[in-house]
Amino acid sequence: MALVVVLTRPGGSPSARGEVFLQPAAATGPDPFTESTAAREAVPPPQSPAPSPQGATPGTGATATRSISGAAPGLYGGTRSVTSCDVDRQIRALSAEPAKNGAFASALGIRPQSVPAYLRSLTPVQLRTDTRVTNHGYRDGKATGYQAVLQAGTAVLIDDRGVPRVRCACGNPLGPPVALPADPKRHGRPWSSYQPSEVVVIAPSETVVHKFVIYDPHDRRWFERDRGDHRGEHDKPVPPPVLPPATAT
């Protein structure tokens, strides 16, 4: 179900500067935590439209952001029985560098020793919409947050509420976005399909998602992936879901 989320700007936050980084699906980006753990097939071919969120008009002092529940069928894409991220490689990379592992854990609010189990609990998928997040690079021994738009096709790991938590092209931890001014300064070259009005935020599902319904752009079919199945070993085909119609704004 599509929602409308109003993001408020706390005083003195980095978002007050009004900067957002545009990050193409396969680009590493600034200050990566690790080398890419995304599969070579991570950027999908053209595909059917993802679920359409509702729109809203921003209010004074806040930015209204279109949002989709992390449980929405078809929100994510992927290839059946092929995962978009190598979770084991991500674990090895962080385990080899304790300082990075600690900074990674801090950005996600978990203990450093819990990182391997946490990563194994996530589910590899690909974004089907340009998506706003707080990305975290690694600089001077700590995680540094910045606002970013991730291009559709980006390989990510999502949690049990359907929220992106790791960007696989750089190993960076992800968090929910914070508000930006109506016309933020953009860094990076926009991709051909980029439209600021089409960018969405993925909101946590109200309940734990046990099976994610995913669109496979390679054979134009649908499958479900179990939560935490980071190898795609139990992917099963399912009928196309009935998607709600877009709401005119």
CA distance 15 to 9: 7
| pTM of the entire predicted model | 0.87
54: Cβ–Cβ under 8 A, 6 or more apart, which residues?
A: 2, 3, 4, 66, 247, 249
pLDDT value at residue 233: 94
Give tens-digit pLDDT for 193-224: 999 989 999 999 999 999 999 999 889 999 99
Distance, CA of 25 to CA of 248 (rounded, Å): 29
Q: What does residue 188 show for φ and ψ, rounded to 5 degrees?
A: 105, 160
Q: How many CB atoms lie within 10 A of CB 6?
A: 14
The token pair that represents 88 in the structure block: 């084991």
56, 44, 67: which is closest to 205 by C-alpha?
67
Q: How many whole angstroms separate alpha carbon 247 and alpha carbon 249? A: 6
With contact defined as beta carbons under 8 Å apart, do 20 and 147 qualify? Answer: yes
Per-residue pLDDT, 180:
82
Average pLDDT value for residue range 39-65: 53
pLDDT in tens, 68-101: 999 999 999 999 999 999 999 999 999 999 999 9
DSSP string, 171-204: TEEEE------SS-EEESPPPTT--GGG-BEEEP
> Can you give the residue ranges of every domain in the chain?
2-238
- The model's pLDDT over 9-43, given as tens digits with 9 standing for 90+, comes to 333 344 446 899 999 999 999 999 999 999 865 55
Q: What's the count of helices (H) and strands (E) in the chain, helices before strands?
A: 3, 15
pLDDT at 53 over 90: no
pLDDT given at position 4: 37
